[in-house]
């Protein structure tokens, strides 16, 4: 496919910075392409996605796909925003329950990322993902929680960025771990039990780490991840709450 002339290229190349194609073949719409790409990503991971592979699944040539998306990066942007459509946020927030509402938004974002663990490898590269319609919707709803609670608009934006940074940081680490589990073919508890001897040996010269590992031995690893996430989220919300006093 010939390259786009320089005068027609966007300063920030992204599917969200150029007009959507106005002519789409009804048998192969962009929405159809994105839905199939998302199925492929969820089934086989990011390394399995290619325009040729996707075209085969859609019974269409890769050239046909390029009429709807410029390249694989745009396709991933669209798939990521499709996933963001799963995030739940309150429509009519109660200012008295802002912490509960924010915690719900945070947990929904984490659950969404963990439902699609391949996201761990691309979230840091999706620089324009905040322009997607589903992320816009989720952001607007969450900002509404904060402004309704009494945060000024500019501070609400910073507060939202702080919560999102915490959630995505924790969830992408968890998602990377889930990808390792998937490749191993083992369940989480079995995998952790196999890793404990090496971890304890590595911590022999570090008393605080050794003590911490000893306390964690035998705990449910999934429950430990849940508790660790909740602890950090509570501390973030504690900090935000001081701004309302």
Q: Residue 76 sits in a domain of what CATH number? A: 1.10.10.60
Q: Let me know whether 120 and 47 are in one domain.
A: no
Q: Let me know whether 166 and 63 are in one domain.
A: no
User: Model-level pTM?
Assistant: 0.85
Q: Let me know whether 168 and 223 are in one domain.
A: yes
Report the domain count for the chain.
2
Q: Let me know whether 77 and 171 are in one domain.
A: no
In whole angstroms, give the CA distance from residue 98 to residue 145: 6
Q: Let me know whether 79 and 127 are in one domain.
A: no
Whether residue 1 is contained in a domain is answered as: no
User: Among the three residues 83, 99, 127, which one is the final residue of a domain in this structure?
Assistant: 83
Q: Please tell me the total number of residues recorded for the chain in this structure.
A: 245
Strand, coil or helix: what is 68?
Answer: coil
Do residues 209 and 203 lie in contact, with contact meaning Cβ atoms separated by under 8 Å? yes
Q: Let me know whether 238 and 164 are in one domain.
A: yes
pLDDT tens for each residue of 159-183: 999 999 999 999 999 999 998 998 8
In whole angstroms, give the CA distance from residue 51 to residue 75: 9
User: Among the three residues 65, 83, 101, which one is the final residue of a domain in this structure?
Assistant: 83
Q: Residue 107 sits in a domain of what CATH number? A: 1.10.357.10
Strand, coil or helix: what is 86?
Answer: coil
| pLDDT at residue 129, rounded to an integer | 74
Residue 3 has pLDDT above 60, yes or no: no
Do residues 66 and 88 lie in contact, with contact meaning Cβ atoms separated by under 8 Å? no
Whether residue 126 is contained in a domain is answered as: yes
Report the helix count and the strand count for the chain, using DSSP H and E: 10, 0
Whether residue 52 is contained in a domain is answered as: yes
Q: Let me know whether 178 and 191 are in one domain.
A: yes
Q: Let me know whether 33 and 97 are in one domain.
A: no
Residue 46 has pLDDT above 70, yes or no: yes
In whole angstroms, give the CA distance from residue 229 to residue 64: 43
Q: Let me know whether 129 and 74 are in one domain.
A: no
Do residues 128 and 10 lie in contact, with contact meaning Cβ atoms separated by under 8 Å? no
Q: Let me know whether 48 and 117 are in one domain.
A: no
**Structural domain of 146:** 88-244
Q: How many CA atoms lie within 13 A of 152 on its CB side?
A: 3
Q: Let me know whether 109 and 176 are in one domain.
A: yes
* Residue of 35 and 18 predicted with greater confidence: 35
- How many other β-carbons are positioned within 10 Å of the β-carbon of residue 59? 9
pLDDT tens for each residue of 181-240: 988 999 999 999 999 899 999 999 999 999 998 888 889 999 999 999 999 999 999 999
Tokens 């979230």 belong to 123
Residue 157 has pLDDT above 80, yes or no: yes
Q: Let me know whether 101 and 212 are in one domain.
A: yes
User: Among the three residues 83, 118, 147, which one is the final residue of a domain in this structure?
Assistant: 83
């Amino acid at each position: 496919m010939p390259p786009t002339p320089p005068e027609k290229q966007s300063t920030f190349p992204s599917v969200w910075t150029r007009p959507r194609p106005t002519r789409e073949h009804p048998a192969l719409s962009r929405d159809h392409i994105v839905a199939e790409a998302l199925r492929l990503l969820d089934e086989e991971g990011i390394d399995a996605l290619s325009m040729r592979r996707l075209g085969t699944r859609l019974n269409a040539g890769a050239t046909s796909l390029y009429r709807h998306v410029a390249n694989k990066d745009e396709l991933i942007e669209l798939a990521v925003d499709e996933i963001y459509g799963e995030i739940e946020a309150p429509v009519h927030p109660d200012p008295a329950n802002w912490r509960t509402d924010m915690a719900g938004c945070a947990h929904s974002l984490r659950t969404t990322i963990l439902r699609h663990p391949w996201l761990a490898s691309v979230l840091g590269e999706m620089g324009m993902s905040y322009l997607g319609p589903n992320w816009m919707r989720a952001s607007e709803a969450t900002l509404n929680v904060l402004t309704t609670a009494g945060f000024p608009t500019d501070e609400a934006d910073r507060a939202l960025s702080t919560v999102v940074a915490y959630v995505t940081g924790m969830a992408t680490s968890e998602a990377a771990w889930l990808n390792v589990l998937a490749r191993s073919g083992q369940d989480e508890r079995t995998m952790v039990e196999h890793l404990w001897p090496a971890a304890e040996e590595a911590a022999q010269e570090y008393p605080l780490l050794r003590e911490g590992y000893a306390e964690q031995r035998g705990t449910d690893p999934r429950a430990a991840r849940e508790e660790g996430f909740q602890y950090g989220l509570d501390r973030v919300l504690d900090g935000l709450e001081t701004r309302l006093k």
